[in-house]
Each structure stands twice: as structure tokens, then as C-alpha cells.
Amino acid sequence: MKRISIFIAALALLASCQRPVPQAFSVIPYPNEVNLTEGTYNVKGTAIAVDPAMDEASKAAVQRFVSALETATGVKTKQADGGIAFVRNASLAPEQYVLDIQPKAVRVEASALNGFVYACETLKQMLPPAIYGSSKAQCDWVLPCGRIEDQPRFAYRGMHLDPSRHFWSIEETKRYLDVMATYKLNRFHWHLTDDQGWRMEVKAYPRLTEVGAWRNGTVVKKDWSSNDGIRYGGFYTREQMKEIVGYAAERGITVIPEIDLPGHMVAALTAYPELGCTGGPYEVWTRWGVAKDILCAGNDQVFTFLEGVLKEVMEIFPSEYIHIGGDECFGGDAEPNRPDPWDVCPKCAARMRQLGIKKGPQAKHLLQNYVTDRVQKYLNDNGRKIIGWDEVLEGNLTPGATVMSWRGVKGGIEAANKGFDAIMTPNSYMYFDYYQSKERDKEPFAIGGFLPVENVYSYEPFEGLTPEAQPHILGVQANLWTEYIATPEHLEYMLLPRMCALSEIQWCNADRKDFARFNGSLDHTFFMLDAMGVNYCKDVRGLIGLEYQPARTPEELEQYLKDNPRSW
């Protein structure tokens, strides 16, 4: 009898060892309400039911999830009830979702596209990371049972990309958007114009891309006196920009274009020199830094030009907001002994007299307010709103503008206290072109600074704000300027995993943040990124430098999963 009992116990132990094991719960950003229970749901070959009341975009989002599941498991799903049911629940907020996972069925609820996108991303992160790959993998394809009720803390969850300094192809930009969608970001700030290159096709002004999209070399590191002499450039056609807008929209992301004005316009001035204070000649910048030359505020032709450009911007980009820059208009560092053009331009002087602006240190800031106000009125008349960098606060900003605070948090706090909406992008926490390690000799060359992932994670957007001012903070964004970033591998290395930390600031309620928990989840994220073929920095694991980042190929990842079947 004793031997029989031992035998039965051994069989029970063997059976338990063979049960599918769900992977550890490592979802980033962490949901705001998670209640896991005993049991699992097997997704391999599951039935899928889609509510007919869902819109077509939401159905397409579900289909992308289903396709990824079928590829990774190697088994087709079935269109039937009794498996994973995607249900439209009109009572939920647009970005809210609910997952109810039971041993025999899963119910996914949302009211709109973004909710379904985020629900699918959470489901994917709860599964083995091979679901982010492009081939079949032998894993335990089960979800842990439980209930998740989730929605974001901030409505604006942004990530910025600069293609003006170094140009990124449409495919590279889509890849960037894919990573954003994985971590539930919903605003893509596209910095399309600068001194070093104009990247947007404008039919009314073809020389912007014929001339302004190309520079005759690029400075090597910080040797300002020379450049590599290699012609460099590129631009996006109207059709390509519309393609990006559509691709982003399918993933719940709004594209916010930036036309930086009245400064950072040397590429445009090279194409149309009559728009500057001196009339040129100008040359698309081959170095980094801040140029002296800007658009002439006293020339009415400039406003005709800006309205013509912005008209085409509005034809391509349906976003409520258009970013108009407004930063670093004065005090260009390339020619420190040269006066700012607006200080000596007869046309600008005449405009200031016309406006009753008195001479003094505030004069040019008030003149910039005039430029901002004219552009804001034009866009407002066409149903759009403006975002400007925090320099637009200097002087008298017109109500209705939104301020993007980049020079620390001061600008955002000032804007909110004055009743303006603000988006927090402080360089002290949100500039991803900064070094990630203090061992700079091991890091790829960067602009400077020091911003490891734990510093990013430590940011609290409401710090320093009164309860009355806090509702004016629309959200948080990180910026990735690319003066010193020329390859996709380097771009991704600077982006990740800092964007993962950003996503928790944007999504998680303050009391749900936990760096130890987040840090533990990064191992799963790294395998996900390996499966996607996306590069990332491993400094958080003690490996410093771009050379330590060989991403696993899909075949290598599949072999790892075969060798470690219980690691998830």
C-alpha cells in the first residue's frame, strides 16, 4: 500500500512538472489594477470571437494580435465563441481596457481603438517573448488567470524623433512607432525642420526640399571648424508622411508635426533667402548648435510663406496640435560676436515701431510673441492648436497656446500657474541623447549630460505644482535629438530601455511606480526586443557600450527558448 501511495505521488509530481507554466508577470507599463489568481488559459489554437459592434480599426488591431499569436505558436486560431472574446463596452473610457482571464475563457473589454490596442499589448507581454518574433517557438503558450483593469494617468504620452539632423527612412520610422505602441505611447512628435535639413515636401515651395533638404557635409563630433565633406540629406514626400500618419493611427498614435519657427530656419533660408533679415546668401548648416539667422519678423512675405507651409501641414496631419517650435531664436552660439539679426534689421525695427514695442532687452521677445500670435491665430482659425517650446513664455503669450517645458521643469510650472496647458519634457529627465553611463569612453559619442534609466524613472511630473495647477499638465514626453546619432542601432540604443521607464511615468499612477519591480521586468523586455530585432542599452545590467548589444536573431531566440522551456 505504501509503495502504491509513493507511485501515485510520483505520478502527481510528474504531471505537475508537465503542466504549462505562465511566464512571470512583467508587463511594462505596469497596469494600475492587477489581481492574478490560480490557473492558466492556453492560447495555442484558441478560439477568437470579435464583437460586431467594434469599429474596423479595432478589429484590425485584434487581427494583428491574432497574426502574431498564430506565427509564434505555429497553430491557427478558430473564429468561434468560447475562447478569447473581444467585446466593445461603451461605458469604458477611450483608453481604458479590462481583461478577465479564466481557465476556460478570456474576455477583453474596451470602448475604442486605443483600449483594444493596449489590451492586446498587455496580453502579448503576458505571453512568452517569442510572440514578438517572426517564427514558431516551442513555449508554454498560456496566460495566468486573473483580472486587469487599466487606464493611463496622462492623456498625452509622447516620444519625439529628430530626422532633421540625421534622416530616418519610412521603415525605420515605422519601427520606432512599433516600439512606442508596445509601451502604450500615443503621441509621436516629428521634428521635421531645422538648420541642418528641411524634411517635409511642400508643393508651394519646392526649393525647401530641392535645396533645403541637403547639406554639404556633417561636422565630425565637435570639431566645429571642419566637416566630413559628404553631401547628406533626404525628405519625406506628402504620400510618405500620410503613410506614417495612417500607420501610427492604426496603433493609437497621433503624429504631431513640428515646423520650428522663427529660429532654426537656416535650411529654409538657404532655399528662399529673401525670407531672412540679410537676404543671404545662406547655407544649410553642416555643424550643430544654434544659428543666428532666423526669419525676418518685419517681412510680410514671411507670413505668406508660413501660412502656405502650414496649410500643407494641415492637409497631411489631422492632429489637433501642431508644434511651432519657438526655441533658441536669439544668441546663436556659432557667431557669438555677431548681433542678433532682429536687433539690427530695419524691417524688424519698423515692425516694432508699428507694434509700439519699445527698445530694450524685452523687445525681441515681444516681437517673437507677435510672430507666434499670428501663426497661432492662423492655425486656430483652421481648427488647430499650437505647442511651443518654453521660450514662447518670454513676453506675452496668447491664451490657448500649450507650452512644452524642456529647459528643466520651470517653464511647465510657470505655464500651469499662468493657466496655460503644458507638456513636461525637462532635459534633466527626458533628453535621451544624453549619456547613459559615467564611463563615457565606453559609450557611443553623445552630446553630453548623464541620464541613466533609474534617473528617468525617478521623475514625478507634478512635483512643484499646486493642486490647482496640476490639471494643466497634459502629460510627459521624452526627446531624442540626433546630432550624434546616425544609425538605427545607435538610435535604438539611446531609446531603450529609457523609453520603458518613460512609459511608466506616463501611464502608472504615482503610487504604482516601483523601480525594483520595473527593473526586474526588464529581463523580459530585453527578450521581447531581441525577438523584435530591436537594439537596446544594457547598462542597467552592467554592460556598457553599443558594442555589447548584439540582438538575437529569431533563430537564436527560438533555440534559447527550446533550451530553456521553463524560463518563462
- Give the DSSP H or E segment for 532: helix 515-532
Residue 108 phi/psi, 5-degree rounding, is -115, 120
d(C-alpha 312, C-alpha 320), whole Å: 15
Strands 106-110 and 97-101: antiparallel
The residues assigned a catalytic role are 194, 264, 328
d(C-alpha 13, C-alpha 5), whole Å: 12
Q: How crowded is residue 364: how many other Cβ atoms within 10 Å of its Cβ?
A: 22
Q: How crowded is residue 345: how many other Cβ atoms within 10 Å of its Cβ?
A: 21
13-21 — which CB contacts under 8 Å span 24+ positions? 20/140, 20/141, 20/142, 21/140, 21/142, 21/566, 21/568
d(C-alpha 495, C-alpha 517), whole Å: 20
Residue 195's alpha-carbon distances to 188, 259, 267, 468, 486, in angstroms, are 21, 11, 5, 39, 17
d(C-alpha 155, C-alpha 365), whole Å: 31
- Say if CB 326 and CB 389 are below 8 A apart: yes
d(C-alpha 531, C-alpha 547), whole Å: 19
Helix 238-250 / helix 300-316 crossing angle, nearest 10 deg: 50
Peptide bond preceding 262: is omega within 30 degrees of 0, i.e. cis?
Answer: yes
User: In the chain, what are the helix, strand and coil shares in percent, each to the nearest 5?
Assistant: 40, 15, 45
d(C-alpha 450, C-alpha 519), whole Å: 19
Who contacts 419 (Cβ-Cβ below 8 Å, separation ≥6)?
Answer: 399, 472
d(C-alpha 15, C-alpha 17), whole Å: 5
d(C-alpha 190, C-alpha 292), whole Å: 23
- Say if CB 198 and CB 169 are below 8 A apart: no
Grid cell, residue 323, equals 508644434
- Euclidean distance between the first and the last CA atom of the chain, given in angstroms as a whole number: 38
